[in-house]
Amino acid sequence: MTATGSPATLLSAQALEEQLRAVGEERYHHQHPFHRLMHEGKLTRGQLQAWAFNRYYYQKTIPIKDALILARSESPEFRRAWRKRIVDHDGEPGTPGGIEKWIRLAEATGVPRDLVISERGVLPAVRYAVDAYLTLVTKHSFVEAVASSLTEMFSKSLISLRMDRMVTHYPYLSSSLGYFESRLSQAPEDANFALNWVKQNAKTRAEQDAAISALRAKCDILWAQLDALYFAYVEPGWPPPGAFLPRSIEG
Amino acid sequence: MTATGSPATLLSAQALEEQLRAVGEERYHHQHPFHRLMHEGKLTRGQLQAWAFNRYYYQKTIPIKDALILARSESPEFRRAWRKRIVDHDGEPGTPGGIEKWIRLAEATGVPRDLVISERGVLPAVRYAVDAYLTLVTKHSFVEAVASSLTEMFSKSLISLRMDRMVTHYPYLSSSLGYFESRLSQAPEDANFALNWVKQNAKTRAEQDAAISALRAKCDILWAQLDALYFAYVEPGWPPPGAFLPRSIEG
């Protein structure tokens, strides 16, 4: 039975995709007030520091998350497709990956590289949310693990908007947007593969529903990170004991 | 070496205890603005509902956390002492334990028992913080797992104050404070055992420092839960998508 009490029949691939897209409309963090402020040019440099500094913890966890997913797959074909994500984030000798590009963005906000990498002062709530992502891809079914990556279906328009607004409102970041630049093409490719895989491999209605829930759970993980940032650095603006404090920029 | 660069010598039992107590002074959630509002009588009934409803997720996790610790001990003597905690929270036939008492408190705020138990609408950030506690007692050293329980050293005065203020400010809760009543004697007993155990079993300075860090980490877990409640239900007052919404009380 579904939540509404009707008999649970298998969704068509198209209906499943529609339900997944509906989760994005409802819960993806493009709607979050922290992002709204960012795109309206209303964040201070210190608030952007806090954002870039904390989100590093998420960024550096991504290839670990992808390695955990890789480790669960029995299919060389799946693994061949999925390993690209690890390369994208970790880079290759001489070619910076997503993590390095994120560090450069954080540096451009005014946080020294060493402090970023030290993770000293990352908001506990950000840490817990990101770690919950690792739990999700480890302890839930493999279909759910893959489906949780589908937030990438929604990231392209958010990233396009962000790049545009950052150049306008935060010119000191304009030459450090390499991370987003790369994600513009990487994310849709990855999302496409994962979406097709979920459509083909969620073979029962229960598995389809679990995939939808996993995407919702992933949206919650992204949302909670921004809630924590907003609470600590915007309103009421109370970083917990030991948290990162924005640094003044020497002009 | 310690953080300050001086050689790391073993702390005396007393010095270790002092450092543990200092963590409580600095980071225990008696200082949290949500608790301050609570004790000043400034929370609405809906905010108390949100608090009791969400904290149920913490309460119901406690005996699971204690069972995980129990499972890691090789000592029947330790396990005999520690199992009391599970009895305290789960109760005995005919005698309600802490979880049942917490449900009654939540009911007194106006949240139906079934909704409490369903956990439907628990703030994701609360869930992540509580789950991080399970990770802490599972993946860190056994000394750290035990030391993380030492927040109980600080709970007695918080609970005494709370009971007093609840009777004054929220009279509709006064006959449902059984949970706190029991904790007044249980927590200090448990804390006493755990403190002595940590003093005896943290045998190197590194282990002592790890015990102090674990207590700090546990304080962060408690603090983050209240940050999430404050953000969602006090200021700015933005519950994330799908979260519990306070219910009106029929008079």
- Decide if pLDDT at A248 tops 90: no
What number of other Cβ atoms are within 10 A of residue A46's Cβ? 18
Helix/strand/coil for A92: strand
- Paired tokens of A61: 């966890």
Structural domain includes residue B241: no
Q: Could you give the count of Cα atoms lying within 13 Å of A230 in the half-sphere of its Cβ?
A: 25
Please provide the distance, in angstroms rounded to a whole number, between the alpha carbons at the two ends of chain A. Answer: 62
pLDDT in tens, A119-166: 999 999 999 999 999 999 999 999 999 999 999 999 999 999 999 999
Residue A6 belongs to a domain: no
* Residue A93 resides in a domain: yes
Residue B7 domain flag:
no
- Whether residue A227 and residue B223 make contact (CB cut-off 8 A), yes or no, is no
pTM: 0.94
Residue A194 maps to a domain: yes
Q: State pLDDT tens for residues A43-93.
A: 999 999 999 999 999 999 999 999 999 999 999 999 999 999 999 999 999
CB-nearest partner of B231 from A216, A231, A241: A231
- Residues of A with a Cβ under 8 Å from any B Cβ are 26-27, 33, 124-125, 127-129, 131-132, 135, 216-217, 219-221, 223-224, 227-228, 230-232, 235-236, 238, 240-242
Q: Which helix (H) or strand (E) holds B220?
A: helix B205-233
Quote the DSSP letter at residue A244. Answer: -
Within-domain flag for B240? no
Instruction: Give the domain CATH number at B187.
Output: 1.20.910.10
Please tell me the total count of domains within chain A: 1
Q: Which residues does chain B have within 8 Å of residue A220's beta carbon, measured at their own beta carbons?
A: 124, 240-242
Whether residues A227 and B235 touch (CB distance < 8 A) is answered with no
Preferred mutation among A231, A233, A235, A244 to probe B, highest tally of B CBs within 10 A: A231
Residue numbers of the domain that contains B218: 13-233
Residue B175 has a CB neighbour count (10 Å cut-off) of: 10
Q: Does residue A78 lie in a domain region?
A: yes
Would you say residue B249 has pLDDT above 80?
no
Hey, are the CB atoms on B33 and A238 less than 8 Å from each other? yes
| pLDDT computed for residue B4 by the predictor | 55
Q: Say yes or no to pLDDT of A104 above 70.
A: yes
Per-residue pLDDT tens digits for A201-242: 999 999 999 999 999 999 999 999 999 999 999 999 999 999
pLDDT digits (tens, 9 = 90+) for B59-82: 999 999 999 999 999 999 999 999
Residue B250 lies in a domain: no
Determine the average pLDDT of the residues in A32-52. Answer: 98
Q: Which residues contact A126 (CB under 8 A, 6 or more apart)?
A: A54, A55, A57, A58, A225, A228, A229
Confidence label for B3 from pLDDT (cuts 50, 70 and 90)? low
User: Cα separations (Å) of A175 from A42, A168, A183, B218?
Assistant: 20, 12, 16, 40
Instruction: Tell me what the mean pLDDT of segment B7-13 comes to.
Output: 90
